[in-house]
Homo-oligomer: A and B are copies of this chain.
Amino acid sequence: MKKVKLKIPATVANLVCGFDILGMAIHEPYDEMEIRLLETPEVIIKHKDQFGLPEEPSKNVAGIVLLKIQEHFNLQNGFEVIIHKHIKPGSGLGSSAASAAGAALGANIVLGNIMSKDEMIHFAMFGEELASGVRHADNIAPCIYGGITLVKSTDPIDIIPLNSPDLFVTAVHPQVEVKTSDSRQILKKNITLKNAVEQWGNIAGLVAGIQKNDFALIGRSLNDIIIEPVRSILIPGFDDVKKKSLEMGALGGGISGSGPSIFMLAEQKETAEKIAALMKSIYDEMKIESFVYVSKINPVGIEIIE
């Protein structure tokens, strides 16, 4: 196959208590990306969206990934990429990861499956590095593997795919700017051992709940006493959204990645949709534009649509 069209899902990193290690693919929103193998060595990036992202390959998240693949495999071929981005940059829903993971997985397909999943993740991390300065895989891993993933280590790459519980996800993206670098800088460098122990009880509970499909356990493990209290200050309406979503029947939820998006898990579609309406109304009242998405946890990750 010399050409492929992909559907690349948004992802929710951290999953509240799993800061820097957990991530989850969802169905909505998603990007579309077409990749074509060229006989000549150019890398051409075209964005068919309104976000004004740079198209010069070395400055583009998908582009840098392809350049690295080209260099590593000493390819004579190039790539033409057309990106229809729907996951808004800066949303905290893995927009840069979608470009990076899509480029790596798409290149792998048009090159005839020359890479393992972990190799694709290796190359995709160059895209994350370009976007945020940090080589992380919290969003890339669930994009490539689907479902919920544990990034046990990025050097060496050690990704553990977890179960994909049959749950609904409501995500809201309020139109406020939170820079990943800011939301990382405000974190305290030191924490108490007591808080760390409570946090790792929650992480252990969350992983056990995911593996046992114990939804109540997942819900009561979605607590973060270390990162959320600091980061949520940057997100207007956060406390209100969380409190009222839980009252409405959400299992739990919190900040998606470094924000400003917020996600909530629910067992029933009806609950997820009521939470979506609630989120919208909270931001309407605050006169903050917002986008709301309801979908299920996405067990497959990136899909080939053509």
- Chain A residues at the B interface, C-beta cutoff of 8 Å: 18-22, 150-153, 158, 160, 162, 187-194, 196-197, 199-208, 211-212, 217, 220-221, 226
Interface pair B150/A208, CB less than 8 Å apart = yes
Interface pair B160/A193, CB less than 8 Å apart = no
**C-alpha spacing A25/B201, complex, angstroms:** 19
**A205 partner residues in chain B, CB cutoff 8 A:** 150, 152, 158, 160
* Min C-beta distance of A10 to chain B, whole Å: 22
Interface pair A208/B160, CB less than 8 Å apart = yes
A–B pairs, 11, beta carbons within 8 Å: A20-B197, A21-B197, A21-B200, A152-B205, A162-B208, A189-B192, A190-B193, A196-B226, A204-B206, A207-B207, A211-B211
Looking at the complex, which one of B158, B191, B192, B220 makes contact with A158 (CB distance below 8 Å)? B220
Report which residue of A151, A200, A220 has the largest number of chain B beta carbons within 10 angstroms of its beta carbon. A200
A194, closest chain B residue (CB): B189
Looking at the complex, which one of B19, B151, B162, B204 makes contact with A203 (CB distance below 8 Å)? B204
**C-alpha spacing A160/B202, complex, angstroms:** 11
A212, closest chain B residue (CB): B211
**C-alpha spacing A5/B9, complex, angstroms:** 58
Interface pair A152/B21, CB less than 8 Å apart = no
**A201 partner residues in chain B, CB cutoff 8 A:** 20-21, 150-153
